[in-house]
Each structure stands twice: as structure tokens, then as C-alpha cells.
């Protein structure tokens, strides 16, 4: 069971998400009341579907947002931020119950423990029947599960099947400490307390700990007596990279757990640790591949892979709207409308696909970003989202190479299919970032710099590159440039000084004296 975390009217709230879900809005009939004019009476709902939790906008006036993107309905992931009016609700995938780990220094007087190592199955004090009927049965079941949430629930199911207890907790280590992920107790929404002494020793020393009567063995500390815990069984979850968490069982009554119970739980914890690491790795690979595929639409394969890895490792939302310097390139085919009238549709489509494929390769070779295809036109970015100091040079080099590749393509095809292209490049400040919905995101830039680049392309002579004074200022002396003069561009009140880039200057040859 997950929960929402929020601060409303100065009060910090921890709201469990039950199987019946939650209703959110301005009306007092809702489970979460957000009293603000920008919040509709019945604004949104949270719904549980199997193991997934969805947020759904219920016809609100001002919309429901997840991580800044407006949604009608979306599956929630850990740490997602739901924005409703001025309020932010954080989705937390940990168990709804609050688990308190006492900060008191509790020194155990006696206990029965065994060490647990990572990476190998410990020698078990179990008979062959236990190993065959229990351990291998658990192993087979856990090995089939790759979803982490389902795996953690199944681990606790198997633990309590083999070692019955009144309360069972599975806690995972995170940056903010031990986090309860699965809680099985008579009341799964109330606060629970476990001994800090037991948890610390299990985690620090890597031992499976059995106490037949916690009140006796750990003294008369209040944190144990107040919960009336008599018997505790606690084992660490240790992976190859270190401690992953722990499994904690407790029950009232004397000597509720045995050495056999400890051995069984140790064996299950070993297999559970392997499964958790496998599920984490599987989830990481899936996320990176999903992100890579999304960004590969407009980034070169290497850059897309790097970006996906960074997002997956940091958990940060990539490419939030930002103002930055960049260079923008537009190109299109001159007289494309005429071509549509003279060429059969299939031939035209094949020719266009080949041309766009060649041009895309050129853009990627220079580290550019393919923003979009606009019919026969191309919009490309340089310096965004991956910033390069030499973005203006990259844009002009791309434009010149596009002319070269265009000529090579024309040499391969029948003269009746020949066409000419125009290219415009501009440099300046842009607003860049992701736009769209959570289901369909596009990366783009906008602003006057973009509009000017498009107008320059429209004014360019066939098979030429037109650019602005802002771009020329960043090129240095490496290019042959011809001044076109001031031109009146559509949508611009003032004329724009325009230049034609003829090519690159050949490097001067040195002479030995």
C-alpha cells in the first residue's frame, strides 16, 4: 500500500492510499480537501488497479499535472509530484504504515545470532526435507518475478507462510534511511515501532538475529516494552553491492521462533536479495531502453544512450524549460509542391525518405538534435539539449555538408527527379525543453531566434546557406562568407543583415625556411 505526502495549511500529511482509492477536490466530501479557487470541487482521483496506482483528472477546470505535465490519466511512479492548483502531492511507493525505529541506544544482553554473507548461500542447519520442500519452492517462485513491487509482496507472503508471525515488515535501505516497503500487521495503516538496537546490529554486523524474549534479552528499555514485543526474528537482505534492507518478524509470547525458523528465514533472505538485485537491474535496463528510444528520435544514438543513463541514475526530470544560447537550422526542398504533381506518390515517398535519412545522418554526425520534420522540411538544433560552445560552427558545418550530400544524392538518381534545397541558420537565445503530454513528449525550442532561422531559409537562394550576423560573429575566420545585405524578413519590424556561407577556408600550408 502506497501513500501521498503533502503539506496543506502548514500541516504535514501522510495519507495512505487504500484499495478504494482517494478523491481530491475543493468539496468537503473528498478524502483530501484542497480549499483554493484554482481547485475544482471534484478535481481528481487516485485509483488502485492491481499493483498499480493511477491519478485521473475528473473534469477539472485547471487541470491535473504530474511532474509538470498535464494528464488526463497516468500511472504513478515513486516520487512523482502531483500538482493540483497551488498544491503539490508527492507519491510515495513505500508502505502506508509509518515504522518508527527508536533512536535510543539499546545494548542487547544476550541473543542467538548467525552471520550472513553476500553472494553465496550460507550453510543451513536444516534437514533435507526443509531444503527440498521449502527453500527450493521459494526460490522457484521468486525467480519468476521481475517486477520489484510484486517481488517484495511475494517475499513477505513466503516468509509468513514458512514462519508465521503477528507482524512482518520488509524494509529497504534508501538515502533517507530504512524505508518500509511491505508491512503485514493487524493494522497496516497505524504507526509501528521496531527496536533500533536490533535493526542496527542486523545491518551493521550482517547477522540473522533471534530473540526468544526481547524484554529479557535486551533489558527493560521502554521502546521494547511499550510494544509488548516478546519474540523477534530479524535477518538482513545482503546483495553483492552491500546491505539492501532487512526482514523483521515479531510476535507476542515466549519463544515463538526457533533455530529452524531463523535458518529458513536466512535462506529466504538470501534468495530474496538475489531477486531484488535482479529486479532492480531489470527495471534499470527497461527504463534506460525506454528513455533511449524516446530520445533517439531526435538525438544521435550515442548521445541518446548517455542521456538515458543520466536520467535513470539521477532520477531527475531531464530537459525542463530553460533559456539558453543555441543555433537553429531550417532546410526545405524548393518546389516540393510541383514534385508532388509530377511524381507518382510511392516514388515521391521513397525519394523523400532517402533524402531525409541522409540529412539526419549529417545532423547527428555533427552532434545536432533533430527537432522535427515539417513535410519536406527539417528543423535541427545545435547546443541543445547537449550544450557545445561551438554550436554555431557545428550548425554551419552541418549546413555545408547537407549541400554536399544533396549533390551526391542527385548524382545517383534520374535527372527528372532532381530538386534543390535551401538552408537557413541563426544563433541566439531560445527557450528549450519538453512540450506535450506525459504520453507524447517532444523536445523543441522556440523564440525569435527560431523564427528568424526559418525566415532566413525562406529567403535563401537554391542550394545555398543563409545565416545571420549573430551566427557569423561566432564563426571566426574559418569560413568564406558573402554579404547578402539587409533583408526584410516576414514578421520582423527591422531589416536583418544576412550573409551567405560559401564554404570553409582551406588551411594555409606552412613552408620550411
Residue 106 lies in a domain: no
pLDDT digits (tens, 9 = 90+) for 336-395: 888 888 889 898 999 999 999 999 999 999 999 888 999 899 999 999 888 899 999 999
The confidence score (pLDDT) of residue 93 equals: 78
Which residues lie below 8 Å from residue 367, measured CB to CB, with a gap of 6+?
300, 303, 382, 386, 388, 394
DSSP letter string, 233-265:
EEEEEEETTEEEEEEEEEESSTT-S-HHHHHHH
Same domain, 388 and 447: yes
HEC states along 376-391?
Answer: CEEEEEECCCCCCCCH
Q: Which is more confidently placed, 98 or 220? A: 98
Q: Please state whether beta strands 322-334 and 231-239 pair in parallel, antiparallel, or not at all (unpaired).
A: unpaired
Would you mind telling me the total number of residues written for the chain in this entry?
Answer: 513
Q: Give me the residue label for grid cell 509530377.
A: 342
Q: Is residue 145 part of a domain?
A: yes
Compute CA distances 413 → 113, 213, 354, whole Å: 79, 87, 11
| CA dist 440 → 91, 434, 468 (Å) | 22, 10, 33
Rg (CA), the chain: 32
SS3 59: coil
Segment 223-255, tens digit of pLDDT: 444 445 468 899 999 988 788 999 999 887 767
Both 330 and 477 in a single domain?
A: yes
Residue 502: CB atoms within 10 A of its CB come to 13
Residue 357 confidence (pLDDT): 93
Q: Assign residue 315 the CATH number of its domain.
A: 3.30.70.1230
292 occurs within a structural domain = no
- Mean predicted confidence (pLDDT) in 444-455: 92
Confidence of residue 122 (pLDDT cuts 50, 70, 90): low
How many whole angstroms separate alpha carbon 247 and alpha carbon 230?
A: 17
Output the nine-digit C-alpha cell for 337: 509542391
Instruction: Say how many C-beta atoms besides its own lie within 10 A of residue 280's C-beta.
Output: 15
Q: What is the DSSP letter of 133?
A: I
Question: Is 267 in the same domain as 323?
Answer: no
- Alpha carbon of 302 to those of 88, 185, 440, 478: distances in Å? 36, 49, 22, 28
271 and 401 part of one domain: no
Mean pLDDT score across all residues of the chain: 82
Same domain? For 255 and 359 the reply is no
Indicate if the pLDDT at residue 284 is higher than 80: no
Give percent above pLDDT 70 in the chain. Answer: 78
Query: Mean pLDDT throughout 183-212?
Result: 79
143 lies in a domain? yes
Going by their DSSP bridges, the two strands 464-468 and 496-504 should be labelled as: antiparallel
Q: Are residues 153 and 279 in the same domain?
A: yes
- Look at residue 110 in the predicted model and tell me its pLDDT: 44
pLDDT in tens, 8-23: 878 888 888 888 899 9
- Give the pLDDT score at 204: 86
Q: Of 92, 107, 141, which marks where a domain is finished? A: 92
333 in the same domain as 195: no
Do 316 and 205 share a structural domain?
Answer: no
Residue 488: per-residue pLDDT: 87
Q: For residue 309, what pLDDT is reported?
A: 66
pLDDT (0 to 100) of residue 392: 96
Q: Reading across the β-sheet that carries 11-16, which strands appear in turn? A: 11-16, 3-8, 87-92, 81-84, 64-66, 69-71
* DSSP H or E run through 32: strand 32-33
Q: Over pLDDT 90: what percentage of the chain?
A: 37
Residues 176 and 226 in one domain: yes
The verdict on 31 and 154 lying in the same domain is no
Answer whether residue 108 is part of any domain. no
- Write down which residue in 283, 302, 330 finishes a domain: 283
**Which residues are paired to 468 by β-bridges?**
498
Rounded to the nearest 10 degrees, what angle do helices 148-162 and 136-143 cross at? 160
Q: Compute the distance between CA of residue 221 and CA of residue 175 in angstroms, rounded to an integer.
A: 28
Same domain flag for 76 and 148: no
Other CB atoms within 10 Å distance of the CB of residue 214: 24
Whether 257 is covered by a domain: the verdict is: yes
| Band of pLDDT at residue 219, cut at 50, 70 and 90 | very low
Q: Could you count the other beta carbons within 10 Å of the beta carbon of residue 99?
A: 19
- Check which CATH number belongs to the domain holding 15 and give it: 2.60.200.20
Closest listed residue to residue 400, CA positions, set 296, 304, 478 = 478
Residue 361: count other Cβ atoms within 10 Å of its Cβ: 12
Assign residue 417 a region (left: φ > 0; alpha: ψ between -120 and 50; beta: otherwise): alpha
Residues near 445 by beta carbon (within 8 Å), at least 6 away in sequence: 326, 328, 371, 381, 384, 430, 431, 432
| 487 in the same domain as 405 | yes
Q: Which of 503, 269, 298, 509 is nearest to 404 (CA)?
A: 503
Q: 63 CB contacts (<8 Å, ≥6 apart)?
A: 57, 70
Q: Does the residue 510 lie in any domain?
A: no
Report the domain count for the chain: 3
The more confidently predicted of residues 346 and 102 is: 346
Comparing 118-127, 151-160, 328-337, 391-400, the range with the smallest average pLDDT is 118-127
Cis amide prior to 344 (ω within 30 degrees): no
Order across the sheet with 231-239: list the strands.
112-115, 207-211, 231-239, 242-251, 167-174, 177-184
Alpha helical stretches, state H, 165-322: 196-205, 214-217, 222-225, 259-295, 301-314
Judge contact between 476 and 467, C-beta under 8 A.
Answer: no
Among 36, 68, 92, identify where a domain stops: 92
| 131-140, 263-272, 418-427: the lowest-pLDDT one | 131-140
Q: Can you tell me the mean pLDDT for 189-201?
A: 77
CATH number of residue 167's parent domain: 3.30.450.40
Residue 235 lies in domain: 128-283
The torsion region of residue 296 among left (phi > 0), alpha (psi -120 to 50) and beta comes to: alpha
Helix, strand or coil for residue 179?
A: strand
Amino acid at each position: 500500500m502506497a501513500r501521498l505526502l503533502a503539506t496543506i495549511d502548514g500541516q504535514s500529511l501522510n495519507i495512505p492510499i487504500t484499495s478504494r482509492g482517494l478523491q481530491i477536490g475543493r468539496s468537503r466530501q473528498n478524502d483530501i480537501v484542497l480549499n483554493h479557487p484554482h481547485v475544482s470541487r471534484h478535481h481528481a482521483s487516485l485509483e488502485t488497479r492491481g499493483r498499480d496506482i493511477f491519478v485521473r483528472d475528473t473534469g477539472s477546470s485547471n487541470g491535473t499535472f504530474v511532474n509538470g505535465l498535464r494528464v488526463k490519466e497516468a500511472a504513478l511512479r515513486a516520487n512523482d509530484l502531483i500538482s493540483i492548483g497551488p498544491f503539490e502531492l508527492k507519491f510515495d511507493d513505500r508502505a502506508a504504515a509509518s515504522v518508527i525505529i527508536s533512536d535510543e541506544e539499546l545494548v542487547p544482553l544476550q541473543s542467538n545470532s548467525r552471520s550472513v554473507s553476500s553472494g553465496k548461500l550460507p550453510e543451513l542447519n536444516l534437514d533435507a526435507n526443509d531444503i527440498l520442500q521449502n527453500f527450493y519452492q521459494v526460490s522457484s517462485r521468486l525467480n519468476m518475478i521481475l517486477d520489484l513491487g510484486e517481488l517484495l509482496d511475494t517475499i513477505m507472503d513466503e516468509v509468513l507462510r514458512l514462519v508465521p508471525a503477528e507482524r512482518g515488515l520488509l524494509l529497504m535501505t534508501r538515502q533517507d534511511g530504512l524505508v518500509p516497503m511491505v508491512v503485514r500487521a493487524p493494522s497496516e495503516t497505524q504507526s509501528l515501532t521496531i527496536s533500533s538496537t536490533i535493526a542496527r546490529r542486523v545491518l551493521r554486523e550482517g547477522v540473522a538475529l533471534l530473540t526468544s524474549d526481547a524484554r529479557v534479552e535486551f533489558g527493560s528499555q521502554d521502546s521494547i516494552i511499550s510494544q509488548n514485543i516478546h519474540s523477534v526474528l530479524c535477518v538482513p537482505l545482503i546483495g553483492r553491492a552491500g546491505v539492501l534492507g532487512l526482514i523483521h518478524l515479531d510476535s507476542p509470547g515466549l519463544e515463538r521462533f526457533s533455530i529452524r525458523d531463523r535458518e529458513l528465514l536466512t535462506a529466504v533472505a538470501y534468495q530474496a536479495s538475489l531477486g531484488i538485485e535482479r529486479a532492480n537491474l531489470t527495471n534499470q535496463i527497461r527504463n534506460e531502453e525506454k528513455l533511449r528510444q524516446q530520445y533517439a528520435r531526435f538525438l544521435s544514438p550515442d548521445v541518446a544512450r548517455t542521456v538515458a543513463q543520466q536520467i535513470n541514475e539521477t532520477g531527475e526530470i531531464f530537459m525542463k524549460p530553460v533559456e539558453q544560447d543555441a543555433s537553429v537550422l531550417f532546410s526545405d526542398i524548393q518546389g516540393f509542391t510541383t514534385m508532388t504533381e509530377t511524381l507518382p506518390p510511392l516514388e515521391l515517398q521513397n525519394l523523400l525518405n532517402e533524402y531525409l535519412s541522409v540529412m539526419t545522418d549529417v545532423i547527428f554526425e555533427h552532434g545536432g538534435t533533430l527537432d522535427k520534420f515539417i513535410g519536406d522540411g527539417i528543423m535541427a538544433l545545435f547546443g541543445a539539449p547537449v550544450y557545445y560552445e561551438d554550436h554555431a560552427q557545428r550548425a554551419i558545418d552541418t549546413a555545408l555538408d547537407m549541400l554536399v550530400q544533396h549533390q551526391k544524392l542527385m548524382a545517383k538518381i534520374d535527372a527528372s527527379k532532381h530538386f534543390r534545397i535551401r538552408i537557413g541558420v541563426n544563433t541566439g537565445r531560445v527557450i528549450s525543453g519538453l512540450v506535450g503530454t506525459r504520453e507524447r513528449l517532444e523536445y523543441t525550442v522556440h523564440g525569435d531566434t527560431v523564427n528568424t532561422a526559418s525566415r532566413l531559409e525562406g529567403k535563401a537562394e537554391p542550394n545555398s546557406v543563409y545565416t545571420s550576423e549573430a551566427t557569423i560573429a561566432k564563426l571566426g575566420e574559418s569560413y568564406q562568407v558573402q554579404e547578402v545585405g539587409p533583408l526584410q524578413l516576414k514578421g520582423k519590424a527591422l531589416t536583418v543583415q544576412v550573409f551567405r556561407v560559401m564554404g570553409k577556408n582551406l588551411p594555409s600550408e606552412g613552408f620550411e625556411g
